[in-house]
Structure 1
Amino acid sequence: MQRFCSIILAILLAVFSTVYGCPPSEMEALLAFKAALHEPHLGIFDSWTGTDCCHNWYGVSCDAESHQVADINLRGESEDPIFERAHRTGFMTGFISPEICRLTRLSSITIADWKGITGEIPKCITTLSFLRILDLIGNKISGEIPADIGKLKRLTVLNIADNQISGRIPASLTGLSSLMHLDLRNNKISGPIPRKFGRLQMLSRALLSGNQISGRIPGSISHIYRLADLDLSMNNLSGVIPRSLGKMAVLATLNLDCNKISGSIPTTLLTSSIGNLNLSRNALEGKIPDVFGSRSYFMVIDLAYNKLSGPIPRTLAAASYIGHLDLSYNHLCGRIPAGEPFDHLDASSFTHNDCLCGKPLRTC
């Protein structure tokens, strides 16, 4: 009889927690997650008390129907009153406990800008099949991107920038068929960009700068119809620029600066929809294609620190707008064209070339 009563009590408790609050197992997982972290200044975990983690637990929200934890949103840089009262940004140490993987209905995990969180991305995170957002920017997380990250078919945002992540970009990452925003900037990632990167058909931003990525730029990137922002700067990329990048429908920003890219500038890049183009600090050679016209609109064209030769294209004067132009530190020669955009540029845009002359440099 006593055993029967215990079973009934357990069932009633489970029903009560399901209807009125988060399941005890989820609360236990959250408390184990909290135990691995230390936040000494703001007291953001002070609210993590009581038996219902779905109400008034800072940064935690639950699904309205299942009452299971759906979101963890902890940002170390926020406009929340907690930060305003403290007159400081957040600082947190510790690591992300694998206990977080017990929260099987998680849709988003944001543990960002805490500056002191170390350890690795828990490998079990790839079992969270409902996960849409993983944002761990601005910590000191190390280790590698989980090899089977591609299992997260619902993932739309993967942001692990400004950490100490090493290793290669896993081939399985190209299986993230819903991914729209990829930010791997400022880590220690090495090896090549996966050859099948172009499978990321929903991707609109790919930010991979400030790593040690090597090899060639995969031509398959040009198959990503929605891609508007591609930043591969400050890596060890080599080879030539694929001509197909200039044929992408919505690519507006292309940053390839500070690599080891060689060959010539594809004509397609200068007749495309790209409005911010930075190819500086590479080993590009040959002439700058003379293909500008009334439809050319550039906020930035930076070709500095290359091996470009020949004259400045005269058709640049026909462009509808060029905000910033830098051709310095090349082997250009001849007269700088007169008129716009050249009239508003200073000498630093043309300095350290073989034999350029004309305003704003020396008279020809």
Structure 2
Amino acid sequence: MATFLYITLITFLATASAVNGCPPSDRAALLAFKADLHEPYLGIFNSWTGTDCCHDWYGVSCDPETHRVADINLRGESEDPIFGKAGRSGYMTGTISPSICKLERLSSLTIADWKGISGDIPRCITSLPFLRILDLIGNRLSGDLPANIGRLQRLTVLNVADNLISGEIPRSLTNLSRLMHLDLRGNRISGRMAVLATLNLDANKLSGLIPASLFNSGISNLNLSKNAFEGYLPDVFSAGSYFTVLDLSYNNFRGSIPKSLSTASYIGHLDLSHNHLCGKIPLGSPFDHLEASSFAYNDCLCGKPLKAC
């Protein structure tokens, strides 16, 4: 009788573990993802052992109800004790395996600041219907952004800054109606820009005219510096314009500063330096609290805070 109860208990515990653990398909996808990466210093993948990837696998979290992998959070710069013990930031090489796309319930993918991860962003990533966060900053990823990125209807964060991404911004990006944070700075993106919601696009190779509608699109932090935009700045600002940051420096804008800028309800930081602007700087807010550096290195701007006209 005692033997029977013991066997029954062991069977129950094994069954409960299988039910509460991640499915074999998710575990296999994670191990395939790991196989394409090499992390020599911290040993973050040493914990990726055993049958249950939902418990004690570094950087992996599962949905408590479905027990499917929901979050992968691997940062090369972190306050986690594993970094303090090693006395260094992380370094990882390899590529992001398309096997990541087999994690059908994945909602957050962060593989950030590893400095050596290269290759393309897997095109199949656009097939993950629950993905909300895609953070790949600080690697050496190349190629272009997946053309169908706009299929990720739940995406709120897209951060691929400080990589080697090239090509044009996909037109489908404008379909991301829930996007709250977009960071593409420090890449090699070129071509013409589509109308987007929130932008940090400094240090790319974008060119052409800026759509006037961009300044009335509801963004509050717009950084288009260090590109090759040209033409006149649209005179379309109004009392509904609100910017914590409006940085248009290091481009090829010409003509005068739009007078309607003075009607904006708020502009915290404005930088129009290093362009080809000319004429008198408008009076009033926000110009009365800006320094000369905001207007420096233009062709012939004058008036406060620069020299008198």
TM-score for both structures, normalised by structure 1:
0.77
SS in 2 for 1:242: coil
Alpha-carbon deviations, 1:220-271, whole Å to 9, x = none? 213322x110000000111111222465433121011101111110122244
Verify the 8 A CA contact 2:268 2:286 in the aligned structure 1.
no
Alpha-carbon deviations, 1:44-73, whole Å to 9, x = none? 000000000000000000000000000000
How big is the shift at 1:218? Answer: 1.1
Aligned to 1:258: 250
For 2:211, the aligned partner's letter is P
1:72-111 → structure 2 map (5 Å cutoff):
72-111=72-111
Aligned to 1:352: none
Q: 1:245 to 1:53 in 2, by over 3 A?
A: farther
Aligned to 2:23: 23
Distance 2:286 2:63 in 1: 53
Q: 1:248 to 1:283 in 2, by over 3 A?
A: farther
Verify the 8 A CA contact 1:277 1:301 in the aligned structure 2.
no
| Number of aligned residue pairs | 296
1:323-362 → structure 2 map (5 Å cutoff):
327=306, 332-333=307-308
Is it true that 1:229 corresponds to 2:234 in the alignment?
no
Is it true that 1:168 corresponds to 2:168 in the alignment?
yes
Is it true that 1:269 corresponds to 2:261 in the alignment?
yes
Distance 1:43 1:293 in 2: 54
Q: 1:190 to 1:295 in 2, by over 3 A?
A: closer
For 2:44, the aligned partner's letter is I
SS in 2 for 1:27: helix
Distance 2:142 2:68 in 1: 29
Q: 1:254 to 1:68 in 2, by over 3 A?
A: same
SS in 2 for 1:73: strand
Q: 1:80 to 1:300 in 2, by over 3 A?
A: farther
Verify the 8 A CA contact 2:121 2:146 in the aligned structure 1.
yes
Distance 2:98 2:139 in 1: 17
Identity, % of aligned positions: 58
How big is the shift at 1:307? Answer: 1.4
Aligned to 2:187: 187
Verify the 8 A CA contact 2:277 2:301 in the aligned structure 1.
no
Q: 1:35 to 1:299 in 2, by over 3 A?
A: farther
For 1:243, the aligned partner's letter is D
Q: Which has the higher contact order (CA 8 A, sep 6+)?
A: 2
Aligned to 2:8: none
Aligned to 1:239: 231
Is it true that 1:292 corresponds to 2:284 in the alignment?
yes
Unaligned 5+ segments in structure 2 are 1-11
Distance 1:283 1:219 in 2: 19
Verify the 8 A CA contact 1:277 1:300 in the aligned structure 2.
no
Verify the 8 A CA contact 1:222 1:247 in the aligned structure 2.
no
Unaligned 5+ segments in structure 1 are 1-11, 314-324, 335-364
For 2:56, the aligned partner's letter is N
SS in 2 for 1:243: coil
1:297-316 → structure 2 map (5 Å cutoff):
297-298=289-290, 302-310=294-302, 312-313=303-304
Verify the 8 A CA contact 1:247 1:268 in the aligned structure 2.
no
SS in 2 for 1:238: strand
Aligned to 1:138: 138
Is it true that 1:214 corresponds to 2:207 in the alignment?
yes
Aligned to 1:340: none
Aligned to 1:118: 118
Aligned to 2:41: 41
How big is the shift at 1:286? Answer: 1.5
